Amino acid sequence: MSLLNSETSHPTIHIFLWCGKIKIMGLIFLSGIFLVAMAIFHEILYLKWAPEERDWPIMKICTAIYSIYVGLIGLNMMKSACKYILREYFSNFVADSQKYEFQLVSKAIRRGATEDRPGRGRKRTARTRENVRKIKAKIKRNDSSRRNSKRKLAKAYGVSPSSALNILKKDLGLKSWRPLKRHDLTKKKRDLRKARCPALLNRFGGGRHRLVVFTDEKPFSIEQVSNAQNDRVWSTEKPSTDYRVITRTQKPKSVMVWAAITHRGKGPLVFIDSDVKIDRWNYMEMMEEHLLPWAKETFGWDEDTGEYEIEWVYQQDSAPSHKAKETQQWLRENVPGFITVKEWPPYSPDLNPLDYTVWGYIESIACAKPHESVESLKKSIQKAWDDMPDDMVKRMVDTWPGKLQACIDSEGGYIE
């Protein structure tokens, strides 16, 4: 425990502490004058009262010892008086100017340190070395908080939960980390991600990533989404159980949503009913009906040449309907460029801005409350999509090169 907070203590305090540890030059000078004066005074008296004895060796030795003894006594008195006066003066000055307690500052200056003396205070009874050693060994065997929570550790070793938590955090320097749910990445998948990300980063470097149209699908259900860690209810009294319950049913009604984004803004949002299977034919029909009209308006279309004014690149994942030969051929004939199934890293939702940001944002708004019907859910999703700021979409697209680099740095492993 520190007498003075190191973050808020003023440099003046440390100067005073330094001065308290060394001999002040002025004090040494005054002490020297005092010794000389005493020696001269004693010599005068000695010559006056015993001139015939001044040549005796024993008398010279006694005279020197006496002069030194008297000088040291005077030096110690002057030193103590000066230190006391300075300490009291500066303690008042620092206490008044820095809003510290007078006794606190005075003790720090008197002791020459801001830390408590070792062994001071009440002896530890809970956070003992033995308990720290035992808990460390227990955590080493099993680091899961499910098996070794602070309450279970407190019960096992006869201490309070707060003491167990202090042992974990302060004595052992541990922090609790939540498990992360991520897509499965085998060695083969990691190797493919590691090999394909550098090619994408090279192809779309220098700002060319802003011409990529990112697409993805996601199912939304009518049930309310919740975050067990962050979602809470503010109330002066404990709300009823019925009010706090978030119900779950088997196979709730849902709708599949397809969307596209680019640095230029949001693309079309397409709802696909749950009874419609997205095969290669439905997928190509959807792009023909929704993607191409939007792309011609966004990137410009020259009717005379039958080409886009700005060449853009279509991105999709490796879903069966996406990597079908017919789909790949349709893309070659209808879009200026696209990322082929052999170029896009497999099992990489963490590399698609729709997956790692946009869908979560839309779901948190559209599904904050349960819906009575799919139509109500569609309206909420559409409204959340329309209200999503374009600046947010641009920022998310601009994070894509960084995601590719992070995947490279992790050698195809997890990046978030």
102 and 232 in a single domain? The answer is: no
pLDDT of residue 96: 63
The total number of residues shown for the chain amounts to: 416
pLDDT digits (tens, 9 = 90+) for 215-229: 999 999 999 888 776
Do the domain assignments include residue 177? no
Confidence class of residue 2 from pLDDT cuts 50, 70 and 90? Answer: very low
122 located within any domain: no
| Number of separate domains in the chain | 3
205 within some domain: yes
Is 286 inside a domain boundary? yes
Q: Is 210 found in the same domain as 163?
A: no
Q: What is the pLDDT of residues 162-187, one digit of tens each?
A: 999 999 999 999 998 888 888 788 89
CATH number for the domain including 277?
3.30.420.10
Q: Let me know if residue 124 belongs to a domain.
A: no
The model's pTM is 0.65
- Position 159 pLDDT exceeds 70: yes
Measured CA to CA, the distance from residue 263 to residue 273 in angstroms comes to: 28
Give the pLDDT confidence score for residue 116 in this predicted structure: 66
Do 167 and 290 belong together in one domain? no
* 380 and 244 housed in the same domain: yes
Asked if the model's pLDDT at residue 13 lies above 50, the reply is no
Residues 376 and 238 in one domain: yes
Q: What is the pLDDT of residue 46?
A: 57
The two tokens of residue 277 are 């299977």
pLDDT tens string 331-355: 999 999 999 989 999 889 899 999 9
Q: Per-residue pLDDT for 108 more than 80?
A: no
326 and 207 within one domain: yes
Please indicate, yes or no, whether residues 352 and 258 belong to a single structural domain of this protein: yes
Predicted pLDDT of residue 221: 92
Q: Are residues 292 and 199 in the same domain?
A: yes
Could you give the C-alpha distances from 213 to 240, 256, 276, 332, 392, in angstroms and in order? 47, 19, 24, 15, 15
Residue 173 C-alpha from the chain's centroid = 16
pLDDT given at position 93: 61
Assess whether 208 and 305 both reside in one domain.
yes
Question: Measuring CA to CA, how many Å separate 131 from each of 148, 156, 158, 171?
Answer: 14, 10, 10, 10
Expressed as residue numbers, the domain containing 152 is: 129-171
Report if residue 5 sits inside a domain.
no
pLDDT tops 70 at residue 270: yes
Statement to judge: residues 138 and 199 lie in one domain: no
49 and 163 share one domain: no
Structure tokens at 116: 């408590």
Whether 67 and 139 map to the same domain: the answer is no
Residue 27 lies in a domain: yes
Q: Is the pLDDT of residue 213 over 60?
A: yes
